Each structure stands twice: as C-alpha cells, then as structure tokens.
Amino acid sequence: MNTKLLCVSFLVCALNITGVGQPLEAFFSKALFLHPEVGPFVESYLTINGKSVIYKPNGDGALQAKVEVTAIYLKQDSVVFFDKYEIHSPTLSNKRSEKQNFLDIQRVPLPNGVYQFEVHVKDLNAGKEELLFKHRDVILLDFNTDSVTISDIELIESFQRTEEKSNFIKGGVKLVPYTSNFYPEDINTMIFYMEVYNSAKLLGTDQAFLLNFYLESQHSELHLEQYSKFKKEQAKEINVLFNQFSIENLPSGNYNLVIEVRDRSNQLLARKKMFFQRSNPNLPVKPENLAAVDLSRSFTMKIPEDSLHECVACLGPISSSAERQYAETQLLVADAELMRRYIQHFWEKRSQLEPESFWLAYSAQVKKVQREYGGIILKGYETDRGRVYLQYGQPNSVDARHMIGVSFPYEIWHYYKLDKMSNAKFIFYDTDLVNQAFDLLHSNVPGEPSEPSWQYIINGAWDNNLDNMMDRNTQDSRATDFWSNPR
C-alpha cells in the first residue's frame, strides 16, 4: 500500500438544484481497516453538497467548483499527519445544469493509538464569503494481532465490478460509500462491507468458521429474526463480508447492524455493531413490526389501561388508510400490551426522537375538539369538524351562522394554505339541531366530499330538478359571498 495520502473525486448523486446561498455543506464518515503489511489505516469519506459550493468558469470554458481540504491527525498535541489539497466538482456546461455531490476518499496509515482528527473544507471560489466546513473526531486504532478482529463496517451507496484502479476499488468492485447512518424511506437497501483479520493465524488456514450478521433493536437489543443471515467461511489472512439487507419493510426506529465471528463450536470470537436510523413513515402496520417495539422505556406505560382503546381510536383523523384499517380490525379486541405497542409505533413513525412530545401535543388538540365539537353521541374527534381540525389544523377564518331562520345552521372554514393548495375551504351544516354534529357538506380539497349544489342544500331547497332550484332563488348570499371571498 502506498503510505501517501490518496485523494480521489467521484460523482455520488445528482441534485436538481440551482444557485447558492447557504454555508458549505459536507458529510464526513470513516472506517478503520488493517493491512497485513502496512498495518492499521483510517479510510475516511467526505461528500461535498454540490448545492452549497460556488461554480466559476475553468480554463476549458465550463463551470466548476473547487474546494481546499486540510486534514490533520494529532497525537498528544503533536501533528503526526498533515495534508492540504484541492478537489474539484464535475463540470457544468451552463448555470442551469444539474449540480452534483462529489466524494473524496482518503487512506492514512497510522500505528495503533488514540488520535485527534480535524478536517477543514474551504470553498476556493467563495472569495470573501469564506464558505467553510469543519469536522473534529477522536479516532482509536486498536487492532490486536493475538485474536480474531473485525474492521469497522463501511456502508455502501452503490457498487459495480470494474477493472479500474482507484481508492474506490476493493476486490475488483467499485464501492461508493454511503456517508450517513440515516436511511430515509426512499432507500430500501442497506449495503455494507467489512473485513475479518487473523482467522487463519488463530484457527488455522482454511479452517471453517461462521459469519453471522443481523439487525437488532438499538434499545432492547432484540434480534430481528427476519433480518438475519449467515455465511460459511474458510480462514484466510483477510476474510471479506460484502452483503446487504432489504429494509423496505423495516419500520422507523433505531437499530444496530451486528456482525459476529463464531468458530465451529459456535463460540463467539468477535463482534462489531453499527448504529443506524430508519425512517419509514408510510409502512403498513404489521404484527412483526409491533413485536420489535421496545416498551421498557415507552411513554405508553403511563397511559391507564382503561384509556388505551380511546387513545387508539382518537388517532383516526391523522392515520393512513392502512393504519385505520389495522386499528379497526385488529385492536377492537386487542390486549393492553398490543395497544401500547401500536401507540408507541404510531408516534415513532411521526417523530423518532420525540414521540411522547408529539403525542402530548396531539392529545391536547383532541381534548380541545372534544370541548368544542363533542356531543351526546359522538366524540369530538368522531365529528366532521373535529376530524378536519385534527387532520388539517386550526382554520385561518370561520364564518359561523348558527341562527339564520329557515336555513340550516352552517360553518365555512377557510385555510390560507394546505400543503401545496391555497384557499382551501370546507362547509359544514347541521340538519339535526339536537346533536349539532355539523356534517361536512362540501370542500374544494381533493379527496374530501364535493357537492356543487351546496348553496341550495343548506337552505333546504334541494330538488332533483335543477331548474326548479334555480327558480326558487333561495341561496344564502352571505354564504356564497364568504365562500368566494373568505375574510
């Protein structure tokens, strides 16, 4: 291995973006490996966000960004490695071209020990703006030659076989690192690479051993059986594990990727764990997903058992269709533990870091709609007004006409903006003056009830013959005016 710092730039992914106007953004990760001749080394990965750097014409007439990277390794305040170099982005033909992330890989051989690491990245095209990125880390190299040891786990974004020669190549395969431990819902495969050392020395050349690799819950360390594999190996100087898991159906949560080395008698020789987060909010509810929920520190343990069914039912207005179906069909006769798991799982999908805070905020809104819209028969969240309030939030304006003579009482709700839609409107009317349920009659929001003749219906002038209704001219002019020009 060449002990000089090796720097390679490579395209990672395309971003459909234009312009600059934010601090330089980069992502750093590392993995520790062992070379049989050179010894331990640090392999680090630096991804530059193509949106956050400035592009200027290069000598060939194209647009290009360039950054200066300064890498420093210190041991007890003494510099043991230093390098400063430039990396350049892929070129752009014009200002409207897609800007792309670009990746730099470094390999630095270092003896076992504790090091302080710093990397500074400077946008050389920024001028006086001084766009900078800084990262600091503590690195422990501790590869033991008297036992079976494992490298760090390197997460991989993509790979392909090649005959090229570069820092990206391992065993004839170009590995593009994944420089994050967070997997959003649009990434459905977790690819990883690691190495096992000293198996031949300790077990004997070509002796059989086993590599177990699986996912576990980070909190409870519960082994997820559906995410478990093994690989039989014969002892070599270096054994490689390059594999993947489909995480398409992995629920949102905190997990560990675990890799174990076991001998023929199943004795554990070495183990390595890597923490990662999964966000999968639209995953259908499945019993096996709920089984992985950790209740030992769950906020749901504070909920009285006789309130659990109500706590599940009130989630209906903000549930997906799959969640509503599961709750209606599976939780009607569910035991307390299953309902607690469901509630915890539901809010972890919305906020992995603060599920209890989200639940408490929503619970306060449920209590509010109960006070405002709850009746003799229906809970507040079961009414149309309560459902719309919980699903879309408080309206920006309301025109309430509860005492208007011959017409039915009605309310028109107006939202300045719902998601990407402006001027969203709902009209509710009450045909039962006892319960005051106020059914949703009409809305211009896609997916909600639509009734073009709502003006006539709230005045009790509905007729199957449209001409007859037009002749009656019984529309409430105030309602029509507010609908067209909400205040």
Q: What is the pLDDT of residues 312-368, one digit of tens each?
A: 999 999 998 888 888 887 777 778 999 999 999 899 888 777 889 999 999 999 999
**Pick from 353, 358, 423: nearest CA to 390:** 358
187-224 pLDDT, tens digit each: 999 999 999 999 999 999 999 999 999 998 877 777 88
| pLDDT at position 477 | 65
The pairing of beta strand 99-109 with beta strand 8-15:
antiparallel
Determine the Cα–Cα distance for residues 374 and 333; give it in Å rounded to an integer.
25
Burial profile 85-115: b = 16 or more Cβ within 10 angstroms, e = fewer:
eebebbbbeeeeeebbbbbbbbbbbbeeeeb
Phi first, then psi: what are they for 259, rounded to 5°?
-125, 130
Residue with the bigger pLDDT between 464 and 215: it is 215
Cα pseudo-dihedral 414, 418, 424, 426, rounded to 10:
-70
Same fold, 1-143 and 144-283: yes
66-117 pLDDT, tens digit each: 999 999 999 998 999 999 999 999 999 888 888 889 999 999 999 999 999 9
Which residue matches tokens 């593009």?
176
| pLDDT at position 469 | 43
Domain ranges of the chain: 1-143, 144-283, 287-373, 395-484
Phi first, then psi: what are they for 355, rounded to 5°?
-65, -35
Residue type, 203: L
The pairing of beta strand 66-75 with beta strand 8-15:
unpaired
Cα within 13 Å of Cα(50), Cβ side: 25
Q: How confident is the model at residue 22 (pLDDT cuts 50, 70, 90)?
A: low
- Report the percentage of the chain scoring pLDDT > 90: 52
Q: Is the CATH code 1.10.600.10 the one for domain 144-283?
A: no
**Pick from 336, 341, 332, 327: nearest CA to 304:** 336
Mean pLDDT value across the chain: 85
Residue range 1-143 forms a domain whose CATH class is mainly beta
| pLDDT at position 385 | 96
181, two tokens: 């431990």
